[in-house]
Amino acid sequence: MAQTYEDMDAIAMLKADHRKVEEIFAAFEKATSKAKKQALAEQACLELKVHTVIEEEIFYPACKGEIEEDLLKEAYVEHDSAKQLINEIEAGGPEDDFYDSKVKVLSEMIEHHVEEEEKRSEGMFSQARAAGLDMDALADAMRARKATAMEEFQAGKPAEPLTLREENGGEEPSLDEVATPAP
Ligand SMILES: [Fe+2]
Ligand SMILES: [Fe+2]
């Protein structure tokens, strides 16, 4: 029997999110009507915003000090690049010249990022598993945060980049400032 979302550990949960977003991007590629494209693009953006929040507030801080630091820092920067495109896509529509291109580039960025997370042995998830993180406790925390994040973003909150100078009054924050576990 397929595992339900409620029973998944942290890595299974994050991977299930990845598969869901990949399906939405695949459907976008096939869609022909503008309305359908916009609905799918917005669904992908919402799912990605929620996913980045649970990783950044819960999973990534738990990884800090436990996995290769460069990999962790790159993941934050990749999230932030994706968030800039997500906010652009959400502010626009399929009548825009670059709309489809932005969705396509976002999907390619996410494909690369997911590869870095899921890669066998040296990927982030493999390193986190090898480090012995408590994947059930992390899953519970992520499920709870997922519900509140979904509400916040459905109410119209934009994605918030963490590592960018322009978002931080001209100063680049440190990893310690960015990867603070959720209270
Ligand atoms: Fe992820
Ligand atoms: Fe990620």
**pLDDT score for 33:** 96
Q: Report CA(14)–ligand 1 centroid distance (Å).
A: 6
Closest ligand to residue 142's CA: 1
Q: Report CA(43)–ligand 2 centroid distance (Å).
A: 17
Per-block mean pLDDT, blocks of 10 residues, the chain (183 long): 83 98 98 97 98 98 97 98 98 97 98 97 96 97 97 96 91 92 72
Q: What Å distances lie between residue 61 and 23, 67, 116, 138, CA to CA?
A: 28, 11, 17, 11
Residue 10, phi then psi, degrees to nearest 5: -60, -45
Map out the domains of the chain as residue ranges.
5-156
Specify the pTM.
Answer: 0.96
Q: What Å distances lie between residue 125 and 58, 66, 129, 161, 166, CA to CA?
A: 14, 11, 6, 22, 30
